[in-house]
Chain A
Amino acid sequence: MINWTNFVSQLINGLALGALLALISSGLTIIYGTLGVLNLAHGAMFMLGGYAGYMAWTATGSFIVAVAAGALALMAFGLLLERVVIRYFYSRPHEDQLLVTFGLSIVIVEAVRFFFGSETRLVPAPDVLNGVVSLGFMIYPKYRLVLVGIVAAALLALFLVLYRTRLGMIVRAGIEDPVMVDSLGIDVYRVFMVVFGIGAMAAGFAGIVNAPVVSLTPEIGEAILVQTFVVVVIGGVGSFPGAVLGGLIAGEIISITSMINPGYAYVMLFAAMTLVLVMRPHGLLGTPGRE
């Protein structure tokens, strides 16, 4: 189906896909950049945010309450997790960190399956956002378009926190040189805990705003986690702008390749990642030499 109509449709679709990937990846990259922990439970947190929102939605019927619940519940979960598990792994080898976060992801997924089963759970978008938008040459679900705006607003909020607040300054300084930040008398551990909470909140928020698009199952985090890692590698590990750029690139690659041959969409995504690793090992917007 290669024609101009479809090409423009897929470009817009790539933007919608990419925005969501950017939001999830930004949480992952902030956590890694600051704490040095590669969080394999990030996909599970994305899923958990969706289920937390689903519970709030079934209780209240309000989508806005559901979104708030998804984000805040995951922030609380993130803070708790950092305090009782992650903190003990900062000084341990990366393999240990991978193992413990991988283990956590299994526990989270299976706990959700235990309580909710494997059946699909649907959180509908508010009525006003349901239906389709006709752009003349294409029809696109209204909610998916609105989602681009929602994600853009969330990314802007994250940007402001990171680049316009004192906390953000400490976080960015922590990414560059945690030892120096510590020696300046700043309680790095408290900052770390907050950062993990913010990262988890970004995942949870993405999980619930994405729920009306894909329907919830305990597994949705697994597939998205792989794509998220690709985004982070393309954009540059630890770089917030890199996560946004990487997300948009990944979304467009998946979408445009699908137009030509859907079977190659993910192949092309990984090919792009390989290309970036060869040409620019620290990613498009990453800093060379960062741990």
Chain B
Amino acid sequence: MSEFDPTAPKGRRDFIRTSLGAVGALALPGFATRAMAADQPPVGTWPAGAQGDSVFVGIAVPRTGTYAVQGEDELKGWQLAVEHLNSGHPLMKAISPKTRKGVLNKEVKYGVADSAAKPNNAVQAEQRFITENKAILMTGSTSSAVAVAMNKLAQREKVLYVTGISGSNDTTGKDCVRYGFRQNFYGQTAAAALGPILVKVYGKNKKAAYMTPDYTYGHTVTKSMQDYLATAGWTTSTNQVSPLGAPDFPSYLLNIANSGADVLINVNWGHDAVLSIQQAQRFGIFEKMKLAVPYQIPFLAPEVGGNLLAGVYAATDFWWTLQDKYPLAKQFVEAFEKRWGYKPEWGANNAYMSFAFWADAGENAGSFYPPDVIKSFESGRKLQSTVGEVYFRKEDHQLVRPVVIVQGKKQSDMKNKEDFWEVVEIMPGAPLMQKPDAFGCNLGDYT
């Protein structure tokens, strides 16, 4: 409370002058940013991409191939986010409080290309969106190989990139870039979250067999699991590395069946995970060993079918029953189900949140000037999300967020046809993460 000051201005002119001054002062940060941005030489597609009534976002997502099912789910998350941005939906405003309609009052438009989870396809499609549409944001990936390639494209072209699903440590580790941001959990946090549960339930000094897809995601997730479990005396009896999209898994499964392992840790993803789990059952493997899934796959339970995941522990980013704990999750699940007719999987949630955080960063920067938006992301500002309060780590652009441990339900325990998983634990994010420089992240330049 200020004291009464007899010398304070009292006249009408004084009042107007003071008011204008106050308004000016309040508006100054915005003015300052814009003035600063306006003085800058062009960066990437800025300012060309931000000059009209709308801004363009390029989405390259797998709609064919091994990861097609997950890609379609992600796409629905992005589409819902764009609709919510353009209409100023209350959920979007809860995550990005400064949002009115669109981003910085510009309508968000988007284009979609099929990446087939192949880095080349994704990069070519996004390059086209940059050249032809002056895209100011790129997204997509259900494969970390794509995410890493997109990171490099983003840094080279100086166009922001928010990952879709990407579980490799490298995405915000050795292949991190200034222009790339990741919302979801990854190998290291998955292992640190799921590992203690496996040790608690199955004991120390166990033997694990791994199924690993042969690319950055598979190798880093398997390595993180092995490193964590080694601290509890677990050893690796075999690691079966298979190509992405392997047509059949019998040879690998025979090796696993003969390995004497206690637990099968299946790192495969998409259709590969579905098929390898179904086939493992046909090889009698689950009579000898337990199954664990460090990086849960959207739609895994319904696609695998046959009660095979009952009792199985998995780490995930989001599961719809989190709506019982988080109000924003409830809003999201309801809005998504109303729009698309099913409960969202974590790919869709990740997609929605990544756009919402980008909108929040843009609104807070007050500009689309990429370095300003990046600095806004890097500010460490607390963000509201569907899994509680989160923030981006400025050193590696990884969101610090909880990892959710779920356990497969028996068919007889399911309350409805989409009630596949029971949330058993929500692990706070920060303690699960490596030190920012542990995986060799060097973000690179702003311009």
Residue numbers of A with Cβ under 8 A of B are 1, 3, 5-6, 9-10, 13, 16-17, 109, 113, 117-120, 122, 132, 138-141, 143-144, 213-215, 217-220, 223-224, 227, 254-255, 258-259, 262-263, 265-266
Contact = CB atoms under 8 A, between A and B. Distances in A.
Given A215-B278, A219-B66, A258 B305 contact: no
A265 B251 contact: yes
Interface in B20-34: none
A109 B68 CA distance: 13
A265 B243 CA distance: 10
B254 A10 contact: yes
Interface in B68-105: 68-69, 72
A174 B337 CA distance: 60
A141 B64 contact: no
Interface in B216-273: 238, 240-243, 245-248, 250-252, 254-255, 257-259, 271
A214 B251 contact: no
B275 interface: yes
Contacts of A119: 69, 299, 303
A214 B245 CA distance: 12
A1 B258 contact: yes
B257 to A, nearest CB: 6
Contact of A215 (B214, B254, B275): B275
Given A118-B69, A139-B284, A262 B251 contact: yes
B274 A215 contact: yes
A113 B250 contact: no
A143 B238 CA distance: 26
8 contacts: A10-B254, A17-B248, A139-B257, A144-B282, A214-B247, A219-B271, A223-B245, A255-B251
Contact of A223 (B68, B247, B274): B247
Contacts of B64: 109, 113, 118, 218-219
B241 A13 contact: no
A213 B278 CA distance: 9
B251 A141 contact: no
Contacts of B68: 113, 118, 217, 219
A213 B271 contact: no
Contacts of B246: 223
A4 to B, nearest CB: 10
- Nearest 9 pairs of A and B residues by beta carbon: A258-B251, A118-B68, A223-B247, A141-B282, A139-B284, A1-B255, A132-B284, A6-B258, A9-B254
Given A139-B257, A219-B65, A258 B283 contact: no
B64 to A, nearest CB: 7
Given A120-B303, A215-B274, A262-B241, A10 B251 contact: yes
A17 B247 CA distance: 11
A17 B250 contact: yes
Contact of A138 (B63, B254, B278): B254
A262 B283 contact: no
A154 B250 CA distance: 22
A132 B275 contact: no
B87 to A, nearest CB: 28
A181 to B, nearest CB: 37
Contacts of A6: 254-255, 258
Contact of A1 (B63, B238, B247): B238
A9 B252 CA distance: 11
A13 B251 contact: yes
Nearest to B303: A120
Contacts of B245: 219, 223
A217 B278 CA distance: 14
Given A9-B257, A223-B247, 20 more contacts: A9-B254, A13-B251, A13-B254, A109-B64, A113-B68, A120-B69, A120-B303, A140-B283, A144-B250, A144-B282, A214-B247, A215-B274, A219-B68, A219-B271, A223-B245, A255-B250, A255-B251, A258-B251, A259-B255, A262-B241
Nearest to B248: A214
Contacts of A132: 282-284
A197 to B, nearest CB: 26
B242 A262 contact: yes
B247 A141 contact: no
A125 to B, nearest CB: 9
A240 B243 CA distance: 30
Contacts of A213: 248, 279
A254 B247 CA distance: 12
Contact of A217 (B251, B271, B283): B271
Q: Which of B66, B243, B254, B275 has the most CB of A within 10 A?
A: B254
Contacts of B241: 262-263
Given A132-B284, A258-B255, A120 B275 contact: yes
A220 B247 contact: yes
B258 A9 contact: yes
A266 B243 contact: yes
Nearest to B211: A262
Contacts of A219: 64-66, 68, 245, 271
Contacts of A259: 251, 254-255
Contact of B214 (A5, A141, A217, A263): A263
Nearest to B285: A139
B251 to A, nearest CB: 3
A139 B258 CA distance: 9
B251 A224 contact: no
Nearest to A257: B251
Interface string B282-315: 1110000000000000010001010000000000
B90 to A, nearest CB: 32
Given A118-B69, A141-B283, A5 B247 contact: no
Nearest to A137: B258
A122 B305 contact: yes
Contacts of A218: 64
B248 A1 contact: no
Contacts of A113: 64, 68
A258 B252 contact: yes
A262 B241 CA distance: 6
A227 B69 CA distance: 25
Nearest to A1: B255
Contacts of B259: 1
A5 B257 CA distance: 11
Nearest to B278: A215
Given A118-B72, A254-B251, A259-B255, A214 B275 contact: yes
